[in-house]
């Protein structure tokens, strides 16, 4: 055996040094020793890869789950909305049920809904009502006693805020003492007040009638003018009073819009207007001008006898089939007959000196002031 030379020894040392500096890689399929740094790095990489893969998988699962649950959520929302919608309906019904209570004052009026009439149909119905009333009240007349235009204009002024009966019981004493405008113009206000006291508001009425008499004396020669524009200039005279005078003292057509007239034409749906001048215009357009005065008498007579403000006698009304407000009052015929007034109920009227036609129809003259009322037939007759 040869001894190693110096050269071969150096070569061996170099080879050993290279092997120590660069260890050889493990063979394929051979696990790296556990304690090595490379093994740690590899393990960390694999763990990171698994974590990343897990996150991606979780994200994919979440996205898929979200897509799957989205339609379900929408369906749930739809179902919830669909289910909740019917729950709101009873509330709406309750609100609707409360309406009649809120409009209690008009509940009866709406029991018979107004018809949607054309203008032509309204005119025909209105004129038919007037024809029917003309047959029921052929004796209709102004219910103030008067002998001349002066007495009529004074009586009409006094009729404010009282009944025609009370005026008719008061004016005989007034006209007996002051028969002409000149006489009344010179009257002592205190004496006139004593006469007019039963009519109410006697001081204001005294000022009006004395002022009216002075205007007639000073501006119209003691005569009542026959023109609307002149009449309304007189103290205490408005359009209603003027039309009463024009229609009944001068034979000139006019519509008298008093409280009865206003109430009835609204019940009949002739107009919805509230102001007297607008009611006058609306109703006047439904009739020939020649009918205006008697139309006023027919309507006012009916309002005083049958179609009352608080208790209309619907069951005894001759024009019930034409009335869209039928049912506001008593509909039972027997009970309704007990609500009739004046000649329709067998009671005295308002005039002390009524027309003969009224008496011939069964009407009874009113008693003078302070006199007892004459005996009347049993209530409900007539």
Q: What is the pLDDT of residue 340?
A: 98
Q: What is the pLDDT of residue 371?
A: 85
Residue 210 lies in a domain: yes
Q: What is the pLDDT of residue 375?
A: 57
Residue 30 lies in a domain: no
Q: Which residue has the higher pLDDT, 322 or 15?
A: 322
Residue 257 lies in a domain: yes
CA–CA dist 74, 125 (Å, integer): 60
Query: Any idea what the CATH number is for the domain that residue 322 is in?
Result: 1.10.340.30
Q: Which residue has the higher pLDDT, 162 or 373?
A: 162
CB 130 within 8 A of CB 291: yes
Please give the annotated binding residues for [4Fe-4S] cluster, written as ranges. 307, 314, 317, 323
Q: What is the pLDDT of residue 77?
A: 41
Q: What is the pLDDT of residue 152?
A: 99
**Tens digit of each residue's pLDDT (9 = 90 or more) over 231-287:** 999 999 999 999 999 999 999 999 999 999 999 999 999 999 999 999 999 999 999
Tell me the average pLDDT across 143-149: 98
Domain count of the fold of the chain = 1
Query: String of b and e for 140-156 (b: at least 16 CB within 10 Å)?
Result: bbbbbbbeebbbbbbbb
Tell me the average pLDDT across 299-326: 98
**Tens digit of each residue's pLDDT (9 = 90 or more) over 24-40:** 444 444 444 444 455 55
CA–CA dist 283, 290 (Å, integer): 13
Residue 240 a catalytic site member: yes
Query: Which residue of the set 164, 240, 291, 344 is catalytic?
Result: 240
Residue 273 lies in a domain: yes
Residue 15 lies in a domain: no
Cβ-based burial of 325 (10 A; exposed 0-12, middle 13-18, buried ≥19): buried
Q: Which residue has the higher pLDDT, 88 or 305?
A: 305
Residue 138 lies in a domain: yes
Which residue has 């008719």 as its token pair? 168
Q: What is the CA radius of gyration of the chain?
A: 52
Query: String of b and e for 257-289 (b: at least 16 CB within 10 Å)?
Result: bbebbbbbbbbbbbbebeebeebbeebbebbee
138 Cβ partners below 8 Å, 6+ apart?
357, 361
Q: What is the pLDDT of residue 40?
A: 54
Instruction: Supply the pTM of this predicted model.
Output: 0.69
Which one, of 210, 226, 73, 82, lies nearest residue 149 by Cα? 226
CA angle 308, 309, 313 (to 5 degrees): 35
Tell me the average pLDDT across 301-313: 98
Q: What is the pLDDT of residue 97?
A: 40
Q: What is the pLDDT of residue 74?
A: 45
**Tens digit of each residue's pLDDT (9 = 90 or more) over 77-129:** 444 444 444 444 444 444 444 333 333 333 333 334 456 899 999 999 999 99
Tell me the average pLDDT across 319-344: 98
Tell me the average pLDDT across 48-62: 52
Give strand ranges (E) for 87-162.
none
Residue 241 lies in a domain: yes
Q: Which residue has the higher pLDDT, 5 or 289?
A: 289
pLDDT-derived band at 354 (thresholds 50, 70, 90) equals very high
Q: What is the pLDDT of residue 42?
A: 52
Residue 79 lies in a domain: no
CA–CA dist 64, 56 (Å, integer): 12
**Tens digit of each residue's pLDDT (9 = 90 or more) over 201-228:** 999 999 999 999 999 999 999 999 999 9
Query: Which residue of the set 258, 335, 338, 341 is catalytic?
Result: 258
Q: What is the pLDDT of residue 51?
A: 54
Please give the annotated binding residues, written as ranges. 307, 314, 317, 323
Residues paired with residue 364 on neighbouring β-strands, in sequence order: 348
pLDDT-derived band at 19 (thresholds 50, 70, 90) equals very low
Residue 258 a catalytic site member: yes
Q: Which residue has the higher pLDDT, 131 or 9?
A: 131
DSSP string, 319-365: TGGG-TTTTSS---HHHHHTT--GGGTT-B-S-SS--HHHHHTT-BP
Which structural domain range is residue 186 located in? 121-360
């Amino acid at each position: 055996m040869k001894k190693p030379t110096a050269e071969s020894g150096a070569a061996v040392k170099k080879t050993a040094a290279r092997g120590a500096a660069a260890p050889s890689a493990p063979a394929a399929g051979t696990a790296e020793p556990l304690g090595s740094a490379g093994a740690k790095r590899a393990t960390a990489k694999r763990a990171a890869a698994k974590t990343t893969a897990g996150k991606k998988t979780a994200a994919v699962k979440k996205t898929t789950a979200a897509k799957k649950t989205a339609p379900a959520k929408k369906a749930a929302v739809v179902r919830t909305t669909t289910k909740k919608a019917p729950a709101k309906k009873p509330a709406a019904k309750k609100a609707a049920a409360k309406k009649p209570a809120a409009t209690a004052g008009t509940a009866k009026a709406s029991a018979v809904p107004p018809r949607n009439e054309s203008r032509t149909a309204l005119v025909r119905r209105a004129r038919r009502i007037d024809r029917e009333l003309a047959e029921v009240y052929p004796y209709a007349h102004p219910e103030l006693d008067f002998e001349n235009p002066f007495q009529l204009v004074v009586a009409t002024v006094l009729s404010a805020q009282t009944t025609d009966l009370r005026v008719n019981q008061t004016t005989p004493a007034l006209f007996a003492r002051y028969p002409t405008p000149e006489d009344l113009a010179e009257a002592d206000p205190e004496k006139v007040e004593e006469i007019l006291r039963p009519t109410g508001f006697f001081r204001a009425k005294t000022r009006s009638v004395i002022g009216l008499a002075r205007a007639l004396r000073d501006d119209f020669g003691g005569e009542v003018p026959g023109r609307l524009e002149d009449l309304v200039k007189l103290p205490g005279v408005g359009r209603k009073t003027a039309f009463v005078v024009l229609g009944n003292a001068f034979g000139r057509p006019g519509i008298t819009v008093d409280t009865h007239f206003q109430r009835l034409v609204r019940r009949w749906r002739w107009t919805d207007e509230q102001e007297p001048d607008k009611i006058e215009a609306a109703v006047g357009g439904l009739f020939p001008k020649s009918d205006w005065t008697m139309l006023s008498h027919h309507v006012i007579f009916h309002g005083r006898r049958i179609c009352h403000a608080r208790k209309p006698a619907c069951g005894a009304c001759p024009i019930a089939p034409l009335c869209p407000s039928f049912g506001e009052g008593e509909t039972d015929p027997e009970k309704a007959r007990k609500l009739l007034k004046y000649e329709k109920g067998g009671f005295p009227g308002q005039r002390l000196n009524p027309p003969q036609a009224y008496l011939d129809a069964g009407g009874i003259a009113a008693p003078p002031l302070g006199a007892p009322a004459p005996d009347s037939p049993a209530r409900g007759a007539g």
